Amino acid sequence: MQIETINTTPYADQKPGTSGLRKKVHVFQQPHYLENFIQAIFDSLDDYAGKTLMLGGDGRYFNRPAIQIILKIAAANGFGEVLVGQGGILSTPAASCVIRKNKAFGGLILSASHNPGGPDEDFGIKYNIGNGGPAPEHITDAMYRHSREIAQYRILDAADIDIDEQGSCRLGEMAVTVIDPVDDYADLMSRLFDFDLLRERIGSGALSLCFDAMHAVTGPYARRILQEQLGAAPGSVINAEPKEDFGGGHPDPNLVHAHELAELMFSTQAPVFGAASDGDGDRNMVLGRQFFVTPSDSLAVMAANAHRIPGYKDGLIGVARSMPTSRAVDRVADSFGVDCYETPTGWKFFGNLLDAKRINLCGEESFGTGSDHVREKDGLWAVLFWLNLLAVRRQSVADIVREHWKQFGRDYYSRHDYEAIDAGLANDIFDQLRSSLPRMPGKTFGESTVESADDFRYQDPVDGSVSERQGIRIGFENGSRIVFRLSGTGTAGATLRIYLERYEPDAEKHDQNTQEALEDLIELAETLCGVKKRTGMTEPTVIT
């Protein structure tokens, strides 16, 4: 085995987004494309020689060959050891757990999260730093800079290694250790939640459940924890086998894509609790019998009940939410007298707050919730939190949420996604919106008068870094809000997301249909941005 230096030329499109670099599989399969990006990542880092790297992914198409290439480049660049999930599998929160437990230098997660998988679909890579969280902007900016300047990469000339059997081997001077992908994560969960109580309630049948793994990475984790350790009935975890194409489905845990679970939970055969997770295991959807919990409400309910959960018995230090997420959790934080931080979308923005111990619970409206146990959002952790809460309170999901609304008020909330629209057109829409912002305050649209309008700017309270143009916010005097944002998680065209929120304190008005309750804001959003008129689309691609 010898180290080869391969001459190459840059690709212009390797700028990481909020969750790393995501492209179609065929883009990553271009000559030197993957190799260039991995070398650019390593060129952006300092002082990693002889240290440990974590490597794994969600099992989607191209994960396995990518792992072999990355191992050889890591060996050629001087890493001392790489920890690899068996079969190349590691959920994103489990990867964060492994990095933190083993004090690894960092890790590479191979995933495009909730995006479809397969030969003609999506692939992605992101780098996580030593705290277990996504690389901050100064590192991703350096990656992009190096990718634009790269002239050669280093790779070990060696045969592929077996990643399907646990154990250690050598790849040149570097050790490769294949680990059980579930062990460390399951151990951490057992220390955060009351597994004895859960075994009693689940094993007795009092707390029946269905978890939809969507043929994605959480299947092995959910089977181990929910069925084997906590005694859920066989078959409680459905679509449990990870597949390279996610069984032909779209591994996004919402009512549209997790339709099998949704149909069950709104049927007469529904168990007490239902949940789903996404491609890489960091998102979650929570359902009760005939009842859907919005991610914003889920975060707020979890915050209000954290003291009931063993791992959080001392209560809240502080909370954080992404800017587009509803302000339901703000009212909980205010009631407990703790700070609530509003950050841009992207889990990396929570990392500094968590490390500085300013918060111990955080979440975003895109079905992501997490805490200080790792530095990623964590789908199965959120499911266990809810199960523990149900076991303690011995109420239904619907009753818990309705009691929460009665105490704090209800935020009617929805997100309308317009996917794969022309990027130039999307940017034109935003340019027009931005230009109108200075004139908006004081304007009245129907019964809504604009109180504030801006393009969200975030200054990190820990390190002082600034992130500009993170989404357009329009707030109204009646407490309603519309947010417009271009998503950075797709691979084709642009996705325009419109977030709609109306606060209703009157408990007598908490049973309205969400879309009907937001009808005036939906119409106003179209008046302001004209996305339907300008694209010819008659309705959003997805409504959540």
Q: Is the dihedral of CA 15, 21, 25, 29 positive or negative?
A: positive
DSSP 130-173: TTSSBPPHHHHHHHHHHHHH--EEEEEE------SS-EEEEETT
Region for residue 103 given its phi and psi (left: phi exceeds 0; alpha: psi -120 to 50; beta: otherwise): left
CB 289 within 8 A of CB 208: no
**Burial per residue of 264-282, b for 16 or more beta-carbon CB atoms within 10 angstroms, e otherwise:** bbeeeebbbbbbbbbbbbb
The DSSP call for residue 317 is S
Q: Is the dihedral of CA 450, 455, 456, 459 positive or negative?
A: negative
- What percent of the chain is helix, strand and coil (3-state, nearest 5)? 35, 25, 40
DSSP 321-364: EETTS-THHHHHHHHHT-EEEEE-SSTHHHHHHHHTTS-SEEEE
> Rounded to an integer, what distance in angstroms lies between the CA atom of residue 182 and that of residue 88?
12
Distance from chain centroid for Cα 207: 27
Q: Is 147 marked active-site?
A: no
243 phi, psi to nearest 5 deg = -130, 150
CB 218 within 8 A of CB 91: yes
For residues 369, 371, 376, 381, the Cα torsion angle rounded to the nearest 10 degrees is -60
Options 19, 44, 113, 448, the catalytic residue: 113
Catalytic residues: 113
